[in-house]
Structure 1
């Protein structure tokens, strides 16, 4: 026997069957509620029923908040992951219960984000995050549903790998912009050094912002990155060039022990202000890693030597961060 009632704008379902625990669920649409009743009663009749009451009473919003709290807060890049999920939490898709989410809901989310002008790669990462959060709810939190609705959604085609490097004169523009005032990119003694250090070491931003003075050996000319700050969870020791050593010798040591004492949020806002003031278009901080990697090859380092510096684990990954200067290759070919 099933009961269907409307209360506070939602449809509340109760399915009672002898020999089974009562099943409760809440839906926005009456058609979804009736479909749920029919499915539960049919599955019970055929002895295929699995209890989805937990999923039927857990909104996607609640699941995402729990995922952030229990899974994201322990990650190295928790700020970036939390920011991504906070974007999702502002979309109306999170109002649905897990049991009523369909692939079409995520297709609608995808299309909405496309209309907002968001890049395909960003949308794909958001969909991937939702897929993992839902799967975690299924596997670990007893929110059983027949299938993960994001799993069958076709990903959007992504643009080819970026090839952006510093253009002629852009480094000088950045250095000049560092010296001028703005709210976030003030004439901080750390901005110019941070840019030059990134170009010399090919470190990821998260690695650079978490580099500690205690892990820098100016005598051996190395910087140690422990596994907990690297993307691949593998520690590595980065050799330091003359220019990198010069950067380190010229900046003061902050009381918090970090070589570059900036928060990720401050850095991101500052970088946007900095490139705008320098009148530079389309340059991301991560492009400095490509610049650095390409320079290492142009200096004559082998593939394995470059990998030991950058931390790339495969040649395919490394190739996406390399963009050789054709004119420099010509010079090598003629020598």
Structure 2
């Protein structure tokens, strides 16, 4: 049986001491509340389903998020660390003052709906009005929120009945981006980057189109990773943490030869594409984002993203007749479903393939 005593402040404290369970105590405003809680708690202990919620009631979401960013986030890639710090801001603003135990399914669903109706900082170029947040953005925020709860339950042993994020409807991920190069866009892009003062920009853009490598994979390359004679690039640090070896086309080989022979590379720098020294005198990968954005705006194709070049390259590999397995080995996609989102074949190209099949059958 629980022990229920009145405290000097006039509240009622219930203390449960049961063999096989840690001593549990909680303070209530009325004696009846203390008795009701004691009966429910002892019943849960008998049935073996009791969860000690004291830690969840004491820990605020602010504290949990701080601990997550301090202990878990630093174990991830630098890009992920930066992204999680940004995603944590709206989560902290909404949930910060709540105890973990107080955050339920209804509150998480309310956050989802509020964020989906929130205007982003981006403005529609034609109307000049702010656009709503993309569903994918809200999905990623919810994923971070869910992992904070998962970590609290599994690793920090915080007494929570469930992860509230698991039981809500997630915003649709959408169809995925399918931007390809059209008309004379490739000619205009290449002419513009070739004319740029720093030749590294041209090499990076052209290598992306030839290999399908991500921008971070290209700019992070070290000299030892590029084997010109064997025409391969060894990637160890990739988005999905799976090392892979990317073959070079003859054009890519020529581009890498030019990049490796760059006369401006300092003797003590092993980066293929290097930037200026920072305040700490260290050289980091060449940051070409501003130059890329300025160029694509200047030639009238502002909607083209650098990642679209990867999309274009992978699609061309499929159009060239390589199998899904061969393309995945080059691009690094783990699932065929993800690969399909990058391989949007042109209908006019498929018409030609159908004509070839018809000719063979005749």
Measured against the shorter chain, the TM-score band is 0.7 to 0.9
CA contact (8 A) 1:174 1:278 kept: yes
Change (3 A) 1:47 1:79: closer
> Equivalents in 1 of 2:292, 2:99: separation in Å?
39
Contiguous gaps of at least 5 residues in structure 1? 5-12, 31-35, 181-185
Q: SS at 1:73's partner residue?
A: helix
Alignment of 1:136 onto 2:134: no
Contact 1:61–1:89 under 8 Å retained in 2:
no
Secondary structure in structure 1 of the residue aligned to 2:95:
helix
* Matched residue, 1:100: 102
Unmatched tracts of structure 2, length 5 or more: 18-22, 119-131, 276-283, 357-362
Task: Give matches, 1:59-74, under 5 Å.
Answer: 59-74=60-75
- Name the CA distance, whole Å, in 2 between partners of 1:21 and 1:171: 69
**Relative to structure 1, is the Cα distance of residues 307 and 179 closer, same or farther in structure 2, using a 3 angstrom cutoff?**
closer
Matches within 5 A, 1:254-293: 255-261=268-274, 266=287, 271-293=292-314
Residues 38, 94 of structure 1: alpha-carbon distance in 2 compared, 3 angstrom cutoff? farther
Deviations 1:262-290 (A, max 9, x none): 67995555544443333324323222211
1:237 match: 245
Does the Cα contact within 8 Å between 1:23 and 1:51 map onto a contact in 2?
no
Larger Rg: 2
Q: Which moved more, 1:130-139 or 1:276-285?
A: 276-285
Aligned: 1:217 with 2:221: no
Residues 1:208 and 2:211 aligned together: no
* Structure 2 match to 1:158: 173
> The residue matched to 1:95 in structure 2 has which SS?
coil
| RCO comparison, higher one (Cα < 8 Å, 6+) | 1
For residues 193 and 144 of structure 1, the distance between their equivalents in structure 2, rounded to whole angstroms, comes to 54
Cα 1:45–1:301 change in 2 (3 A) is closer
Q: Give, in whole Å, the separation in 2 of the partners of 1:50 and 1:266.
A: 50
Separation in structure 1 between the aligned mates of residue 12 and residue 272 of structure 2, nearest angstrom: 60
Deviations 1:114-134 (A, max 9, x none): 122111122112111211111
Deviations 1:178-217 (A, max 9, x none): 478xxxxx84432222121111111123322322211100
Task: Name the SS of the counterpart of 2:75 in structure 1.
Answer: coil
Of 39, 43, 63, 1:46 maps to 43
Q: Is the 8 A contact 1:120 1:158 kept in 2?
A: yes
Q: Distance in 2 between matches of 1:178 and 1:38?
A: 75
Taking the aligned partners of 2:5 and 2:168, their CA distance within structure 1 comes to 33
Residue by residue over 1:85-121, the C-alpha shift from the partner in whole angstroms, topping out at 9 and shown as x without a partner, is: 3343452222211111111221122122212211112
Which sits farther off after the overlay, 117-126 or 37-46?
Answer: 37-46
| Aligned-residue RMSD, C-alpha | 3.3
Match 1:114 to one of 98, 113, 116:
116
Corresponding residue for 2:128?
Answer: none
Q: TM-score, normalised by structure 2?
A: 0.74
Deviates more, 1:169-178 or 1:234-243: 169-178
Q: What is the TM-score of this pair, normalised by structure 1?
A: 0.80
